[in-house]
Structure 1
Amino acid sequence: MDDSPLFVLHGNGTVLNRGCQAIAVGTTGILQREFPLCRLIHASYLHGLSRSQEPRTIEGFPVVPWALTRRYSPGWFAYQFRKLVGRGQEPVLSLLADASVVLECGGDLFTLDYGLPTRQFSIAQAVLDAGRPFVLWGATIGPFSKEPQFERFAGEQLKRFTLICARESATVEYLDSLGVRENVCRVADPAFALEGRELDLDEEGLAVLRQPCVGLNFSSLIARYQGDLESWTDQVAGIVRAVARAVDMPVVLVPHVFTPDCNDLLFLRRVLERTGGPSGRITLIDKAYTARELKFIISRLAAFAGARTHATIGSLSSLVPTLSVSYSAKAIGINRDIFGNLDWVLSWKQAAPDVFVEKVQSLLAQASAVRAHLARVIPAMRESAYRSAGVLRERIAGLRAEQQTP
């Protein structure tokens, strides 16, 4: 690979989702450490936003956002028609002329969380057919066992990928069951490499962090699984009230995603209203802080319980005792790799106020032991995230050597 490779970071979402921002910023730092002169293009999906809502750069590198049309919308039908007549080229292909590698950074795009990932496999095939390396970067994959025919297709396609950097052991094990082994590397999510940005605690709404607090993160996303936003809002308000009564420290609500269609801040404002409003016992971080700033905020907490995966990664990587409220395989895999068990995972289906309080109290009671364990394992997780760039260099060099062998 040359001294200044161009990496196209594709598939990530808007930075208004601070998890996506953490992936983008963390990946930038990882690549820059291994390739100091590298160039990057962040080719992210807008998910219904206007281009003006996305920054022009991330860490100094340009953002080229794509509008992602919703299934069965007029734009989606127009795209399907263009494909039928041979004019439906994926936008990322327009960036391949100078690209050294395409990194697919979406994290969970190759799962069933959003339906069958047929479009993602189509993009991968188009990039590879164009002669460019295609890398799944910090990814969770599958399982596709609910769709046996698609699973067989996926297994064959995944073998073609240049490199798969899997962020959990469970993904590596699943790929092995499909016979996908030679191009797989176990790494940590790139957000483990994210550094926090210190804030002035005299800033409005942050003074509470001068004392021990329990942080809680919930979102309206789970209502898509639960089926009723009003019911889920009431349930979360009940959880917050119960935790505030049970612990001898303030409860801080921490939003982590600020997209119009699934805004944690708006959701948590409604939750706060249903608890009776702000008080000395319950407060809200009522501002759209960046991923770096939120990591600093979370690092100040005595304990944290969160539904957003990258909010919990920010907590765990800051050595904060953490309860993951799971709605997908991501939380399960990450916790199993860090703790070797699922003691600190609670399914949203089990998140009744009394059960939640019991888990939080147990976490606080064992906080010293949990922090000590995190202090032992997180440095290796962080280094595993950085190691992915070295593996990428070796993989590309090996492929080029094979191509040059007569």
Structure 2
Amino acid sequence: MQQHINSRPFLFVGNGSRKNLGCEAIECGTKQILRAAFGPCKFVSVDFGGDFRPDEPDIDIIHKSLNVRRFTLSWWSRHLLRAIGCGVWFPAIGKYMSEARAVLALGGDNYSMDYGSLGVHLDLLDYVTERGKPFIIWGGSVGKFDKKGGVYREIVAQKLRKATLILARESVTTEYLSQIGVECNVVRVADPAFVMEPSKPQNLPFDILTEAIGFNFSPLMARFVTGGDLQAAQSLVTEVVRDIIKTTDRPLVFVPHVFRPGNNDYIFLRGSYDILQKEGYPVQLLPDTLTAAEVKWIVGHFTAFAGARMHSTIAAISSGTPTLSFTYSIKSIGINRDVFGSERYVIHPRKISKSFVAQQMASLIREKKDVRSLLADRLPHIRKLAFSAGDHLAKSLAGSS
């Protein structure tokens, strides 16, 4: 009987492709957690976005792509069926759902409204729960829903109460869900990327210097810093990095983490890299061909790190590297509070200026021994929380069988 159960896959839904290394880190950590709790596992991942995914080295997972963006065939189908009263329909997911042990909504912040409408993700929750399959919001940040008013907030809360489990990756989410009356199915865990193992790259075009500073910034952050003006944001990044190098007298490595069209860290950071290299500053730019595990290995060797992509900062923090987080949402705030006990190393968009960031980085480097000691003390607990997600899922599935 156990052998039959183990042959049934876990169905992942909602994660992005490996053009986003954060999505890759979530998947890698999730597989590790589930294997620790359930033993050998099979997985099917229906990735949202329709982006290209390279060959998968893990023979135990099958990847399928579903493009749910506005005005795609999937988008029109959902809205047409709803308009004629037929409910929502996800054939690409339904194809695998009957055999799945459970449906895990990956992606981290799909239920946070950071990127606009929750429509497709709430439809997915309804689709799965109405068919009696366990639905788990896995290692996510949830909320806030206040921007659309109290009525909408209560509608979302009612839907979230139908989820089998909400495994929240940080305490700000659990506090918010409690405030809106979603508590019975909520458990605090940690982001699965905390347990992804690093992997040493084979062919880096330059040596990683342990005295170097790692730096990530994103086109997405420009929306919050310069009102979406990418040219102004790139000029600001160039000034910030120039001042960091002058203030700390250390080399700096640009670390791109997302490579999607229209939201590509590599292209964005390349502009600042080219300018600073021509000016003679000691800068390097990581290639856009590395895996999430390889980037984690690299940032683990830096003296300090500053990043806008949350999973670039998780890669650094989980490696014990002192880290500053540029943040625009609850997810980074919550994770910093849970790891460091405060928001001391969080930099909000309105404070991003060349002098302030350089001063914060210099201060972080001066305190690096204490910060590394704090991380060494806290990370075992954070890893334990991440692995506890598998135990909570196993207990829930055992109770429903």
User: Do both proteins adopt the same fold according to a TM-score greater than 0.5, normalized to the shorter chain?
Assistant: yes
The number of aligned residues is 393
What is the alpha-carbon distance in structure 2 between the residues aligned to residue 10 and residue 76 of structure 1?
16
Q: Which residue pairs with 1:7 in the alignment?
A: 10
What is the alpha-carbon distance in structure 2 between the residues aligned to residue 279 and residue 311 of structure 1?
26
How is 1:53-132 mapped onto 2 (pairs within 5 angstroms)?
Answer: 53-57=52-56, 59-72=58-71, 76-77=75-76, 79-85=78-84, 86=86, 89-90=89-90, 91-132=92-133
Report the residue type matching 1:386 in the other structure. F
The more displaced of 142-151 and 329-338 is 142-151
Structure 2: any 5+ residue segments left out of the alignment?
none
Change (3 A) 1:74 1:118: closer
Deviations 1:164-217 (A, max 9, x none): 1000111111111122222111100000010000135xx44331x234111100
What is the alpha-carbon distance in structure 2 between the residues aligned to residue 196 and residue 204 of structure 1?
15
Residue 168 of structure 1, aligned match among 157, 167, 170 = 170
What is the alpha-carbon distance in structure 2 between the residues aligned to residue 354 and residue 141 of structure 1?
33
What is the alpha-carbon distance in structure 2 between the residues aligned to residue 367 and residue 344 of structure 1?
12
Structure 1: any 5+ residue segments left out of the alignment?
401-406
Deviations 1:65-92 (A, max 9, x none): 3332432467744552354344861131
What is the alpha-carbon distance in structure 2 between the residues aligned to residue 389 and residue 278 of structure 1?
50
Report the residue type matching 1:64 in the other structure. H
What is the alpha-carbon distance in structure 2 between the residues aligned to residue 335 and residue 394 of structure 1?
29
Q: Structure 1 residue 307 and structure 2 residue 308: aligned?
A: yes
Change (3 A) 1:79 1:154: closer
TM norm structure 2: 0.93
Q: Which residue pairs with 1:403 in the alignment?
A: none
What is the alpha-carbon distance in structure 1 between the residues aligned to residue 280 and residue 329 of structure 2?
33
Change (3 A) 1:148 1:299: same
How is 1:361-380 mapped onto 2 (pairs within 5 angstroms)?
Answer: 361-380=362-381
How is 1:184-263 mapped onto 2 (pairs within 5 angstroms)?
Answer: 184-200=186-202, 203-207=203-207, 209-225=208-224, 226-263=227-264
Change (3 A) 1:78 1:33: closer
3-state SS in 2 of match to 1:245 = helix
Report the residue type matching 2:232 in the other structure. S
Aligned CA RMSD, in angstroms, stands at: 1.9
What is the alpha-carbon distance in structure 2 between the residues aligned to residue 124 and residue 69 of structure 1?
15
What is the alpha-carbon distance in structure 2 between the residues aligned to residue 371 and residue 233 of structure 1?
31
Q: Does the 8 A contact of 2:78 with 2:89 survive in 1?
A: no
- Post-superposition offset of 1:349: 2.3
Divergent runs of 4+, >6 A: none
Q: Which residue pairs with 2:395 in the alignment?
A: 394
Change (3 A) 1:87 1:381: closer
3-state SS in 1 of match to 2:326 = strand
Q: Does the 8 A contact of 2:201 with 2:290 survive in 1?
A: no
Q: Structure 1 residue 294 and structure 2 residue 295: aligned?
A: yes
Deviations 1:47-74 (A, max 9, x none): 253xxx2135363233333332432467
Change (3 A) 1:89 1:58: farther
Change (3 A) 1:63 1:348: farther
Q: Does the 8 A contact of 2:172 with 2:330 survive in 1?
A: no
What is the alpha-carbon distance in structure 2 between the residues aligned to residue 115 and residue 58 of structure 1?
33
What is the alpha-carbon distance in structure 2 between the residues aligned to residue 115 and residue 105 of structure 1?
17
Report the residue type matching 1:251 in the other structure. L
Residue 149 of structure 1, aligned match among 143, 148, 151 = 151
Deviations 1:306-362 (A, max 9, x none): 001000000000000000010211110100111111000001221110011011011
